[in-house]
Structure 1
Amino acid sequence: MIYDVVIIGAGQAGLSMGYFLKQTGLSFIILDNQNAVGDVWRNRYDSLILFTPRAYSSLPGLALKGDPAGFPTKDEIADYLEKYARTFDLPIQSKCHVEIIHKENHLFFISTNAGVVIKTKKIVIATGPFHTPKIPAYAKELPEHVVQLHSSQYKNKSQLNDGPVLVVGGGNSGAQIAVELSQDREIYLSVGHKLRFLPLSIGKKSFFWWCEKLGILQANHDSFIGKKVQGQPDLIFGYELRARIKDNSIKLKNRTTTIKKDEVQFADQSTIKVQNVIWATGYTLDYSWIDVPGLLDPDGKVKHIRGMTDIKGLYFLGLPWQYRRGSALLLGVGEDAEYLVKHIANLSKNSS
């Protein structure tokens, strides 16, 4: 069988794509390397809570249940995504790891871990921005008795040694983990930029409600607002971290620069000794499994316009700032998916 479309990834991007494709009559399948839909969320740290309220955490066609102004947990989102796939009867092949993709003439050939080769006319890469954990090279200098985990590996404090913890990275994951651990630990937070905080709500309305009313959510990457926001360090949602820094429950440190044995040095030359390090340092993208020339620019980023690449039939969905701020988030990925499906459906109609 030759599919019209194959989607790689059954996260929020892949499911949104499937929702709109289901309405076209095109044949498609979603390939996912997890055991079940939602496992990417289930496997994240136990205390993870989204900073987008439920009103802004739904995909097209199915609202997330619960208090619209409340903030969902990661398990709530995992269950919601599983329900979403079931509600719309989306064709998903789980436990399917894509090893290599190549193109011959007008077809893509997808080789999987099961030894199966799947053929398709068009392919959508919906694997999101979280590929390979980014950990600095000097991490290998830590002695074996120091526990070090990337934030993607951290679940809860039971994984850690007794004693101080250094969290490296000033995004929302690092902030949440540091706040959680500061309840009964000595916590250091290493950040290479000035922390900027945003309220979760203003005047009983969600911060995202105000962003929508002011047109910030709708601003695309080429707009004045979009250009201002892109490339800026993560904004920390909520004021818990700020309060813990203020009362010294969390000690703020400069950028981490070197490690010698169990001693960590920072940009201001100060040092500390810790028994645990959590690297909340983000991810690097890895598209080495897509064996199609011309995909990436010299900086290793995907060359595309609204998810459409220069390679005929190859699309991306769920990239940060693919078109708008919310392109990689639950609140915005559906609009990008609808745009791509309309484009694909029109191409298919014209070629038939």
Structure 2
Amino acid sequence: MNESTYHTVVIGAGQAGLAMGYYLKQLKQPFLLLDRWQEIGEEWKRRYASLMLFTPRLYSSLPGLALPDDPQGLPTKDEIANYLKRYAENFQLPIQLQTGVTRVHKKNNDFYVETNRGEFKAANVVIATGPFQKPRIPDFAKNLSPNIVQLHSSQYKRPTDLQIGNVLVVGGGNSGAQIAVELSKERQTYLSVSQKMKFLPLKIGKKSVFWWLDKVGILKASHNSWIGRKVQAIGDTIFGSELKEAIGNGRITLKERTVHSNETVLQFKDKSILEAQNIIWATGFISDYSWLDIEGVLNDIGKPIHNRGKTSVPGLYFLGLPWQHRRGSALLQGVGDDAQYVMQHIQTRN
């Protein structure tokens, strides 16, 4: 097995990995970004065709390179994919694509990153694989008939992916909301949610709601601050008015949490049932660090144990996690601050 040695290896070349690369260049030490996709931005291109960010361009840029065009406008997913590719080229970041990590372990003071394309040795490793790793689908989905079209939201691309008939979208986050609204324009649509939904407008006056959230300090609030704890307690917020309007005019029928299924019938928390022809599981993702062979960095449910990305293992860091430090840590507009913090810690350590 070939071995290459670097000061720092970054696992993942999405928005978090690229931001990390931007700051690592300042250390003038050899580093490498590894990514499993065939091209930069591919993960964004694979998302559903109509996807638009709810954060405006003003709050959707990585450090050092602003996203062009109207700063108050909302970028499309293809726009973000192209921007990430341009970002990597602009800063000439060293990236090796089509490289899947199979194991990371530590021996003495060095990390060894095993991949399908050889082994890499490094003094530091930054895990920037983000929160969207393994689709979460409830176990009872296996009870459903193969005649039902079932797709996770990460697999859904457009309405033509579905067969004739109604559709149940399970999950009340922003992806589930956008997909349900799109599908409701052409078929009977049901949306299953586990709790009462909270809505925020995309704009207040002529400014993005994120401009206002920034001005009152919510975007910069740390996860353990009073404001940060309050925002986390609120949970997911649906941005925009389209879903509320679609529910109000009857295009989308709300259902309670989906709790059971059998063949073609799904049952909800209130004991009501629905016979569905199509199901979109907008039920989020779970972390998958099965390749991380280092003790003491994951908790009992497999989530990273860290302090703003720093772990108890010297030289091992995480980046791009939800609320890693503040609300935007997993988003384009916030990951840069965390990347700079990790870089400064690496610089001090070395």
* Alignment partner of 1:306 is 2:298: no
Task: Please show how residues 186-225 of structure 1 align to structure 2 within 5 Å.
Answer: 186-225=188-227
Find the partner of 2:68 among 65, 70, 73.
65
Q: Which runs of 4+ in 1 moved over 4 A?
A: none
What is the CA deviation profile of residues 107-146 of structure 1, one whole-angstrom value per residue up to 9, with x for unaligned ones? 11111112x1110010000000011100001001110110
Q: Tell me by how many angstroms 1:299 deviates.
A: 3.5
Does structure 2 conserve the Cα–Cα contact (< 8 Å) formed by 1:98 and 1:110? yes
Give the match's secondary structure for 1:120.
strand
Q: Tell me by how many angstroms 1:231 deviates.
A: 4.7
* Alignment partner of 1:8 is 2:4: no
Give the match's secondary structure for 1:139.
helix
What is the CA deviation profile of residues 5-60 of structure 1, one whole-angstrom value per residue up to 9, with x for unaligned ones? 00000011000000011111011000000000000100001110000000110000
Find the partner of 1:101 among 96, 104, 125.
104
What is the CA deviation profile of residues 203-233 of structure 1, one whole-angstrom value per residue up to 9, with x for unaligned ones? 1111111111101111001100111122543
Report percent identity of matched pairs: 57
Task: Please show how residues 46-195 of structure 1 align to structure 2 within 5 Å.
Answer: 46-114=49-117, 116-195=118-197
Q: Tell me by how many angstroms 1:293 deviates.
A: 0.6
Instruction: Tell me which moved more, 221-230 or 328-337.
Output: 221-230
Does structure 2 conserve the Cα–Cα contact (< 8 Å) formed by 1:198 and 1:237? yes
1: distance between equivalents of 2:38 and 2:48? Answer: 18
* Alignment partner of 1:31 is 2:19: no
Does structure 2 conserve the Cα–Cα contact (< 8 Å) formed by 1:263 and 1:273? yes
Find the partner of 1:315 among 314, 317, 329.
317
What is the CA deviation profile of residues 250-275 of structure 1, one whole-angstrom value per residue up to 9, with x for unaligned ones? 00001111112101111111111111
Does structure 2 conserve the Cα–Cα contact (< 8 Å) formed by 1:192 and 1:255? yes
1: distance between equivalents of 2:302 and 2:135? Answer: 16
Question: What is the TM-score when the length of structure 1 is the normalising length?
Answer: 0.97
* Alignment partner of 1:43 is 2:53: no
Question: Which runs of 5 or more residues in structure 1 are unaligned?
Answer: none
2: distance between equivalents of 1:45 and 1:153? Answer: 8
2: distance between equivalents of 1:275 and 1:190? Answer: 15
Give the match's secondary structure for 1:23.
helix
The AA in structure 2 aligned to 1:166 is: L
The AA in structure 2 aligned to 1:154 is: Y
Give the aligned CA root-mean-square deviation in angstroms.
0.8
Name 2:235's counterpart in structure 1. Answer: 233
Give the match's secondary structure for 1:14.
helix
Name 1:19's counterpart in structure 2. Answer: 22
Q: Tell me by how many angstroms 1:311 deviates.
A: 0.5
Give the paired residue count. 347
Q: Tell me by how many angstroms 1:298 deviates.
A: 2.7
2: distance between equivalents of 1:104 and 1:33? Answer: 24
The AA in structure 1 aligned to 2:342 is: L
2: distance between equivalents of 1:141 and 1:297? Answer: 31
The AA in structure 2 aligned to 1:199 is: P
Give the match's secondary structure for 2:137.
coil
1: distance between equivalents of 2:147 and 2:68? Answer: 44
Give the match's secondary structure for 2:271.
coil
The AA in structure 2 aligned to 1:302 is: P
Instruction: Tell me which moved more, 292-301 or 33-42.
Output: 292-301
Question: What is the TM-score when the length of structure 2 is the normalising length?
Answer: 0.98
Does structure 2 conserve the Cα–Cα contact (< 8 Å) formed by 1:193 and 1:233? no
1: distance between equivalents of 2:317 and 2:140? Answer: 36
Question: Which runs of 5 or more residues in structure 2 are unaligned?
Answer: none
What is the CA deviation profile of residues 275-298 of structure 1, one whole-angstrom value per residue up to 9, with x for unaligned ones? 100000001101110000111123
What is the CA deviation profile of residues 168-204 of structure 1, one whole-angstrom value per residue up to 9, with x for unaligned ones? 0000000000000111110000001001100111111
1: distance between equivalents of 2:160 and 2:241? Answer: 26
2: distance between equivalents of 1:100 and 1:122? Answer: 15
2: distance between equivalents of 1:177 and 1:231? Answer: 25
